[in-house]
Amino acid sequence: MAVLRGKGLGLEIALGERDFEEALAELQGKLGERPGFYSGAQATAALGRASPSEDQLARLRALLGDHGVVLEALSGEAHVGTLAVEQGLRYVADLDGGEELARRRALRPKRELQLSDAARSLAADFAGARTDIAVRRSRGESSVRRMTPVPEPAAAPAEAEPVAPATLYHVGTLRGGQALHNVGNIVVIGDVNPGAELIAGGDIAVFGSLRGVAHAGAQGDAGARVYAVDLAPTQLRIATLIAADAGSREGSKQPEAACVQNDRIMIVPLDRVGAAKKTKEKVD
Amino acid sequence: MFPLREPYDVAQPPVSAAPVKLGRAIVVTSGKGGVGKTTTTANLGTALAKRGVSVALVDADVGLRNLDILLGLESRIRYHLLDVLEEKVELDDALVRDKHTPNLYLLAAAQSREKEEVDTESMRDLIEELRERFEYVLIDCPAGIEMGFKNAVVGAQEAIVVCTPEVSAVRDVDRVVGLLGNAFAPKLIINRVRPHLVHKGKMLSVEDVNSILRLPLLGVIADEPDVIVSTNKGEPLALRSDSQAAAAYHAIAARVAGEDVPAPMVEYKETFMDKLGSLLGGRR
Amino acid sequence: MKARKIVLTSGKGGVGKTTATVNIGAALAKRGHRVILVDTDIGLRNLDLVLGLEKRIVFDLVEVIEGRCQVRQALIKDKRFESLAILPAAQTRNKDAITEDQMAGLIDELATMADYVLIDCPAGIEGGFRNAIAGADEAIVVTTPEVSAIRDADRVIGKLAEKNIPMRLIVNRIRPEMVRTGDMLSIDDVCEILSIELLGIIPDDEEIIDTTNRGEPLVLGEGYRLRSIYEKIVRRLEGDLIPFTNLDAPGFFGRLIGALKAG
């Protein structure tokens, strides 16, 4: 593991897993490679389980000081907290390293969404590749997609839950020829005219007349639904099922929802649709 | 599976910095062909000019020009739109005065050229120049949503969309309204209504049409054989005083000019007229 | 034997191309031919609507050309006519989504699956028009007896002639009573100006408005006057020599001044 790397807005010095003197020597070499380059940076020393002596810490700070780098925090397991207070530094709970922690984390069930690579790359397209890269970086993955799936480092406890894809809100009437696509849900405050198209990975809700084409659960979620105040679509799709009315649906008298029951798309009055069963079954 | 699409970009009208009061540039469009755009441009222009304001009509249907025929001016065309855009002649040389109505001028399209030859920016400048000289500039838009449409729309600040009571026309007009967006404040004219068919349920009603388009209604014009006659003779209907359609055009002109005009005289049965009255009273 | 690839075009919009495409296609199918109708009006699709098939669209022409589905997946079979299918246009795209070569390739592929491929062309003479004629061997020019429509048809005929595409004419929405009073151009006038072979003369009739709105081709119903006219058009297309019937025959318009023809 490299002794010196970027972390957030500053530097991280990895001292936990190795001999202190060795690491310090390497650090000196690294800093010396590019004089002045790191000047002004703030650094966190990642100690993990190690307990360097006061003298060692002083030498570390001096070395950093020679190159204009300020040591402002220590990270590591619990004991490091005390050390940090003694040194007048900030304490950061261990973010990585520490065998015990890693072992415990590996045993913990994964809390991520079960998105396949293909779906995740689709999410990247929609949410913006930048967001995807940022998320990957924050987890310590490379920002270039690898072809073969690699087991990811477990998410850190300090990090928030992986963010579910956002709901796309559109205020206004969607006219023929216009389309809204979203990985998450789509909500339209207005009408959706014939010739308009809504494609959502999640649910679709229309606060008005839905007269165009609506495709909910487009990534395979058969539990997705389509809601509308006036449900009169040209065509309805949920996951891989398609339905179109034989006759023309005269404006329905009440708000309704479309959902999949027994492998068919059914339209149900809103007051009878019941709680969502979000089992995310794939329909093949 | 769902590639991101570039939003279909329609050029936005320029913000005028000139202190001079510029005329209103209104594009008459529909998407669908044969609904009466050119007829409306000719008749609305005539009706407006008869109120004493100066009006310039621009035929943007390069290659398929027809506005000159409707006005009976085809033999008087010496220079056309492209001649002006390419700076071969001055605008004044190309503008043709109307035979029947003073204050009304025509800038004809080229017949043997292509729409793709029109430079969008030059077109915008030309409309701006016309606005400096005329109180109204009406632009007759070609059918479709290709380059011809884009060039007709650039330079306009307002739009009048013409629709007939047919499902395919409503679809196309809806698409165009979506493309125009909010910047043009489009208003609707419903053309070629046959009240007896609406009454029998064999034709869409004004409500059917506007329940999808949801636009402020400028007027409703009945289908009359006189329209064909006037086209063939080159004398706009608005010149006559004995036709319902002519009266409708005059009422529309008054509304465009800002007057509060009650329901037009398209009537067959009392009930139909009442429907129109309430629709027009409610929307402006 | 490969299919005949016929484009229906006009220049002027709203003269009845799509309605003619649907009714000629349906009449051909009724006579047992395998027919595919292609809507090339990308962004302003209507063929599906006029046939009442808009609710069954899953894939469209652009998706076929982009390789996102097979042709067979995109074709929609009409339930009323055994051998009639349509390939719908895309609605949320623009005409620059495909090139002339791509269109020609697609039409050729369709020609291996049918006896007739009818191509519904958009209004105008821009890119959409050029794409539509790219795959055609023959053309039917549709016009109405109005000066503006004829002028536009003339322009289109010029462009088709440049490409050596053989063409025939349909004159739509003729009103015999107006021709008689001199308020409308006669067939002879029209043919003289356009000088191409006549394929059909269709009188203006209100029944078209209703059937189009309901998505039902005329040839479906028994009571429609225009049905026999479309059937004759189809037989002429097949090569028969059918005379144009007399509009003044009793049961049509009942007047006897002059002999006006339709059919």
C43 touches chain A (CB under 8 A): yes
Overall average pLDDT of the C191-219 stretch: 89
Element (H, E) at B251: helix B244-256
Block residue for tokens 């203006």: C204
Task: Please name the residue of chain B whose CA is at the shortest distance from the CA of residue C183.
Answer: B229
Nearest CA in chain A to B173: A176
* CB crowding C42-68: b at 16 or more within 10 Å, else e: bbbbbbbbbbbbbbbbebbbbbbbeee
B175 touches chain C (CB under 8 A): yes
Which chain B residues have a beta carbon less than 8 Å from that of C152?
64, 66
Of the residues A193, A197, A213, the best mutation for testing chain B's interface (the one with the most B CB atoms within 10 Å of its CB) is A193
Q: How confident is the model at residue A139 (pLDDT cuts 50, 70, 90)?
A: confident
Domain region containing C153:
4-262
Would you call A32 exposed, middle or buried from its count of C-beta atoms within 10 A (0-12, 13-18, 19+)? exposed
Q: Give C218→chain B minimum CA distance, Å.
A: 15
Q: How many CA atoms lie within 13 A of C74 on its CB side?
A: 23
A167 has a pLDDT exceeding 70: yes
DSSP B191-229: EEE-HHHHHTTSS--HHHHHHHH---EEEEEE--HHHHH
Which of A33-47, A151-165, C205-219 is predicted with the least confidence, judged by mean pLDDT?
A: A151-165
pLDDT for the residue numbered A80? 84
**Which of B174, B179, B209 to mutate against chain A (most A CBs within 10 Å)?**
B174
Q: Domain with C43 in it: what CATH number?
A: 3.40.50.300
Report how many domains make up chain A: 3
pLDDT at C243: 85
Report CB contact under 8 Å: C44, B171: yes
pLDDT bin (cut points 50, 70, 90) of residue A109 is low
CB pairs under 8 A between B and C: 126
B157-174: per-residue pLDDT in tens?
Answer: 999 999 999 999 999 999
Residues A89 and A141 in one domain: no
DSSP annotation of C251 reads T
Position C178: which residue type? M
In this prediction, residues A55-64 reach a mean pLDDT of 88
A164, pLDDT greater than 80: no
* The predicted structure's pLDDT at residue C2: 78
Task: Show which residues on chain B lie within 8 Å of chain A, measured between beta carbons.
Answer: 1-5, 8, 171-172, 174-175, 177-179, 212, 214
Mean pLDDT comparison of B12-16, C144-148, C244-248, highest-scoring range? C144-148
Q: What is the pLDDT of residue A275?
A: 63
Q: Tokens 């009942």, residue?
A: C254
Residue B21 confidence (pLDDT): 83
- Give the rounded percent of residues in chain A with a pLDDT score beyond 70: 68
Q: What is the mean pLDDT of chain B?
A: 86
Q: B199-223: per-residue pLDDT in tens?
A: 888 899 999 999 999 999 999 999 9
A163 or C178, greater pLDDT: C178
Same domain, yes or no: A143 and A176: no
pLDDT at A37: 78
Tell me the chain C residues in contact with residue A178 when contact means C-beta distances shorter than 8 Å. 92
The verdict on residue A118 lying in a domain is yes
Mean confidence (pLDDT) of chain A? 78
Q: For residue B12, is pLDDT > 60?
A: no
Closest among C52, C76, C29, C102 to C211, alpha carbons compared: C52
**CATH number, domain containing residue A253:** 2.160.20.70
The domain tally of chain C equals: 1
For A144, the 3-state DSSP assignment is coil
Could you tell me how many helices (H) and strands (E) chain A has, helices first? 6, 16
In a domain, residue A250? The reply is yes
CA torsion, ordered B57, B60, B66, B68, to nearest 10 deg:
30
Most confidently modeled of A102-111, A153-162, A168-177, B39-48? B39-48
Rounded to 10 deg, the angle between the B206-213 and B270-282 helix axes is 20
Section A81-87 average pLDDT: 83
Classify residue A101 by its DSSP letter.
H
Domain that holds residue A54: 4-105
- Do A154 and A88 fall into the same domain? no
**Cβ C91–A177 below 8 Å, yes or no?**
yes
Rg (CA), chain B: 18
Q: Which helix (H) or strand (E) holds A175?
A: none
Q: Is residue A248 part of a domain?
A: yes
C132-149 residue pLDDT tens: 999 999 999 999 999 899
Average pLDDT over residues A167-193: 94
Looking at the DSSP bridge assignments, the partners of residue B158 are B26
- CA B232, CA B112: separation in Å to the nearest integer? 22
Amino acid B277: pLDDT: 43
pLDDT surpassing 80 at residue B139: yes
Is residue C248 pLDDT above 50, yes or no? no
* Per-domain residue ranges of chain B: 24-282
The fold adopted by the segment(s) B24-282 is Rossmann fold (3.40.50)
Instruction: Pick B178's closest partner by Cβ from A122, A177, A211.
Output: A177
Greater model confidence, B139 or A21: B139
Given a cut of 50, is residue B273 above it in pLDDT?
A: no
Residues 129-158 of A with CB under 8 A from C: none
pLDDT of residue A251: 59
* Residue C245 confidence (pLDDT) above 50: yes
The verdict on A116 and A204 lying in the same domain is no
| pLDDT band, very low/low/confident/very high, at C205 (cuts 50, 70, 90) | confident
Cβ pair A176:B175 closer than 8 A: yes
The confidence score (pLDDT) of residue A149 equals 54
Q: Are B168 and C91 a contacting pair at CB < 8 A?
A: no
Is B13 at the interface with chain C, CB within 8 A?
A: no
Give pLDDT, residue A89.
86
What is the pLDDT confidence band of residue C3, given thresholds at 50, 70 and 90?
very high
From CA C205, how far away is CA C225, in angstroms rounded? 9
What is this structure's pTM? 0.71
| B222 or B15, higher pLDDT | B222
pLDDT at A147: 56
pLDDT at A78 > cutoff 70: yes
Q: What is the predicted pLDDT for the residue at B11?
A: 45
Contact B4 A125 (CB under 8 A): yes
- Spatial distance between the Cα atoms of C131 and B144, rounded to a whole number of angstroms: 14
Q: Any idea what DSSP says for residue A282?
A: B
C-alpha B24/C-alpha C152 separation (Å) is 30
Name chain A contacts of B3, Cβ cutoff 8 Å. 125
**Min Cα separation A125/chain B (Å):** 8
Q: Tell me, yes or no, whether A96 lies in a domain.
A: yes
pLDDT at C67: 93
For chain A, how far is it from start to end, CA to CA, in angstroms? 44
Nearest chain A residue to C214 by CA: give it: A248
What does the mean pLDDT of chain C come to?
89
- The predicted structure's pLDDT at residue B266: 47
Residue pair C166/B213 in contact by the 8 Å Cβ criterion? no
Phi, psi values for residue A198, rounded to 5°:
-120, 125
How many whole angstroms separate alpha carbon C63 and alpha carbon A199?
16
